[in-house]
Structure formats: C-alpha cells, structure tokens
Amino acid sequence: MQKSKKHRIRVFYLLTVYIVLFSNDLYSQTESRQSLLIEIEEGVDLMEAGNYIEADRKFKRALRNLEVLPAEISFYFGKNSYFLDQHKQAINWLNKYIELKGTKGRFFEESVEYLNRAEMAYKLETEQNSNNVISELTKSNDFDCKGHTHFKCPICLGEGVLLKPGKMNNVVYQTCPYCIGGGYITCDEYKMYLRGELKPNN
C-alpha cells in the first residue's frame, strides 16, 4: 500500500515537472514568435521610411526563424526587394503572395503593380545583358555553345510561363510561346535569339 502511494506521488511529481517545463517551452516559443512578428512590423515601417537595407534584414530574420509564415511577408519582402533592385527576387515573392491570397488579398492590387514594375525592370536588365552579349558576338561573329544542347529560355527565364495583367485586374498565366512551357530552347534557337531572329512557336 505504501509502495503504491509512493509510486503515485512520484508519478504526480514527474507530471508536474513535465507540465511546468512544457509550459515554459510553449511560452518561450510564443514569445519568440511574437517578437519576430514585431520585427516584420518594424521592417514595414523601415521600408515605408525608405530604409530598405535595414528592412531587408528584419524580413530575412523573420523568414529564417518563423516556422509558420504569415502570407503578408511574401508581399512585404517582394516589394522591398524591388526597391533594392533585386527584381527576380521581387517577382518570385510577389507571385508567391498572389498564389497564397489570390485576388481577395489585401495587397493584391499593389502586388500586381510592383510585380509589373519588377518584371519590366528585370526585362530591361536582361535586354541590357543580351545587348552586351550581342555586342560581343558581333566581334566574334558567332556564339559558341560549348557542347551545351539547350539553354534556359531568355524570354520566360526558364519558368515556362509569362505573366500578363488580365482584364479583371488579375494576373493571367500564359505558356511561353518560345519554349512551349519547357523552360529551355536549343542552341540554334539561342543563337537566333541573340541575333534577334527568334520567333514564337505556333
């Protein structure tokens, strides 16, 4: 009888210790999540004040440490990336926000606006890089594929789709007509692209 009583006391003691430790751990996790969510809010304030580098640090810290991310951080991080001239990153994260929240998202219209800006800027960068390549090709007269049979499609940047603003203030996904959605073109097609002769496939 006494052994049974001691056993019950021991079990009760162990359960109490476990509950206390679990509660402390849960409180610590909640407190940590709350502090990271506050960092996101601080990042938004910094972004609106034009301090994009510091905002980027805040957002990245939250992205690294939060187990469950609020959808809004995709918009904030994408928009801030645009201001940092990280246009490809901006496109990826703004698209992610639209995928998560759809047309009902609070930042949908602003996401589409900055997505279009980022895509335009990225296209200009790509064209500038292509112009530099073409300039080099003019000197060397031809492009050496160096044994590669396929190259990432320079039109859709290997994504296989092009994003277009739709009539209903939404984003329309269109299969890239140059790589037919595959994301890659042949060496000969790439040479034609560099010469400005690549045409969409029907």
Tell me the average pLDDT of the chain. Answer: 77
Q: Are residues 150 and 133 in the same domain?
A: no
Strongest mean pLDDT among 57-61, 134-138, 161-165, 196-200: 57-61
Q: How far apart are CA 195 and CA 197, in angstroms?
A: 5
Same structural domain for residues 188 and 132? no
With a cut of 80, say whether residue 122 has pLDDT above it. yes
CA 109 distance to own-chain centroid = 18
Residue 151, strand partner residues: 185
| 92, 93, 142, 196 from 43: Cα distances, Å | 19, 16, 48, 43
Q: Which long-range contacts (CB under 8 A, 24 or more apart) does 62-69 make?
A: 62/36, 62/37, 65/32, 65/36, 66/33, 66/36, 66/37, 67/33
Q: Does residue 137 sit in the same domain as residue 184?
A: no
pLDDT digits (tens, 9 = 90+) for 173-193: 788 888 888 888 888 888 887
pTM (2 decimals)?
0.53
Ranking 91-95, 130-134, 145-149 by mean pLDDT, the lowest is 130-134
Give the mean pLDDT of 13-24.
46
- CA torsion sign, 116 to 91 to 78 to 32? positive
Residue 77 included in any domain = no
**Residue 195 is which amino acid?**
R
Let me know how long the chain is: 202
Question: 95, 125, 141: which is the final residue of a domain?
Answer: 141
On whether both 58 and 96 belong to a single domain, the answer is no
The range of the structural domain enclosing residue 190 comes to 146-202
Looking only at Cα atoms, what is the longest distance across the chain?
Answer: 98
Residue pLDDT, tens place only, 21-73: 444 443 344 457 687 788 889 999 999 999 999 999 998 888 888 887 888 99
Kindly tell me if the per-residue pLDDT of 81 is higher than 90: yes
Which contiguous run of DSSP H or E holds residue 152? Answer: strand 150-152
- The beta strands (E) that lie in the chain are given as 150-152, 161-165, 171-175, 184-186
Q: Above 50 in pLDDT, residue 101?
A: yes
Supply the pLDDT for residue 180. 86
202 in the same domain as 161: yes
Q: How many domains does the chain have?
A: 3
pLDDT at position 88 over 80: yes
